[in-house]
Chains A and B, each alone.
Chain A
Amino acid sequence: MKMKDMIEVLIIVGIQSLAVNVIGTKYGIVEAIPGLIILILIALAGIWLGKVMPGGIPGVAYVVTLGCILTIPGFPGSEFISEAVKKIGFVQLCVPLLAYAGIAICKDLDVFAKSGWRIIVVSCFVFIGTYIGSAVIAQVILKTLGQI
């Protein structure tokens, strides 16, 4: 995919997110735009780093890391960036993403319908096992360290 197409898609997702943000949060379009532009720039820079940096680390890792570094307290401009992106709700950002995911799932529906009930039951227990297993360990350690 060309960089130009990626920018186009990111801007489209930005517009969709903006619509959701205006409805779902107390911030208007004008207040949200700086944060959204920052997020788009972080995403682009991360994707670009993923392409040019050696080591084959996927772009998404650079995107998260960049977002993290730019907002560490004390980093130049971190306060401005934090304030700007705070006006974009992360729950709101998920909505366009899951709409795309829902449309993409359509192609898996036939396979899903064919999978037996046993696999579906096992899947549910796999999810529960992972989640509760991790949560119990986290709970014990956080409690021992006195953090909760």
Chain B
Amino acid sequence: MKDIRLHVTVLVLCVISELIGSKSFAIGVGKIVLLPMFYALIMGVLTAPRFLKISGTKEIKAASGLLGLTLMLLMARYGTLVGPTLPKIIAASPALILQEFGNLGTCLLGIPLAVLLGLKREAIGAAHSIAREPNVALIGERYGLDSAEGRGVMGVYICGTVIGTIFFGLMASFAAAYTPLHPLALAMASGVGSASMMTASVGSLSAMFPELADQIAAFGAASNMLSGLDGLYMSIWLALPASEFLYRKAYKFKYGEEPPKPLIHSIAGDAKGDEQK
């Protein structure tokens, strides 16, 4: 059997994580939930050659290669959560579909902030979307990954990979505890097109609202699938043009002049960008 060291390491991490169990902390009026899956993630990172030296380059490479496959059992389970609640999901479909437009909140908030922090064209790549794989591919095709936009999208992509899961788990806890947003609305928002971010958010929410757990997971899974389907088109048709517009406005606000024309500017989606380089 291949990669036995990796699989045994994971088994040990799993057992330790689940034995610690989920912990909730009361902070003010709400509570923050820490789940075993977060410990497993952090301990996984700690096995790195630079820390505990349990996993070597070989294990790290094997783990990234197997990631898609190890996801499958969870995805099958999500399917079986959607099935029994399908009538409820269909009843909630207007909300499920329209909340997808909420993903535009990304550029509304992100672009002005990025420009105010001093980022230039990096802002477009970084803040036009949540920067998962399809968005990286899109920016790569349109601007090239070695462009400023490409650096931006890769930066957020890496951040999402490293801190995204835990960030989403804690953010869900905070939002459920301190905002008037309903857990089911937060469940729908969890599906951003990344299975691990969705799972962390859904996991935290269902730990806080056990009586709604199945419905929360079903809504999260359904919305995540929708995001996977529409996310790219949303970026091409709405988020990227909106980001370009917000970038010009924010740039003018900060520097008092129009931004310099980008070298490669092809909103129509022609392939000139790559030839010019």
Q: Which residues of A contact B (CB under 8 A)?
A: 1, 5-6, 8-10, 12-17, 19-20, 23-24, 36, 38-40, 42-43, 46-47, 59-61, 63-73, 75, 78, 81-82, 85, 88, 90-109, 111-112, 115-116, 118-139, 141-143, 145, 147-148
Contact = CB atoms under 8 A, between A and B. Distances in A.
Interface in B29-85: 35-38, 40-50, 55, 59-61, 63-64, 66-84
27 contacts: A9-B66, A59-B72, A64-B76, A64-B79, A67-B79, A82-B84, A94-B196, A95-B17, A96-B11, A97-B71, A100-B70, A101-B67, A102-B45, A104-B60, A106-B49, A111-B158, A118-B118, A123-B156, A125-B110, A130-B106, A130-B189, A132-B105, A134-B102, A135-B189, A138-B98, A141-B98, A142-B92
A135 B102 contact: yes
Contacts of B99: 134-135, 137-138, 141
Contact of B82 (A5, A67, A116): A67
B35 A91 contact: yes
A23 to B, nearest CB: 4
Contacts of B86: 68, 72
B40 A98 contact: yes
Interface of B: 1-2, 6-7, 9-11, 13-15, 17-19, 21, 35-38, 40-50, 55, 59-61, 63-64, 66-84, 86, 91-92, 94-96, 98-110, 113-114, 117-119, 122-123, 126-127, 129-131, 152, 155-156, 158-165, 167-168, 171-172, 175, 179, 181-182, 184-186, 188-190, 192, 196-197, 199-203, 206-207, 217, 221, 223, 225, 228
A129 B109 contact: yes
A17 B37 CA distance: 12
Nearest to B7: A12
A127 to B, nearest CB: 6
Nearest to B72: A43
A122 B129 CA distance: 11
A124 B170 CA distance: 12
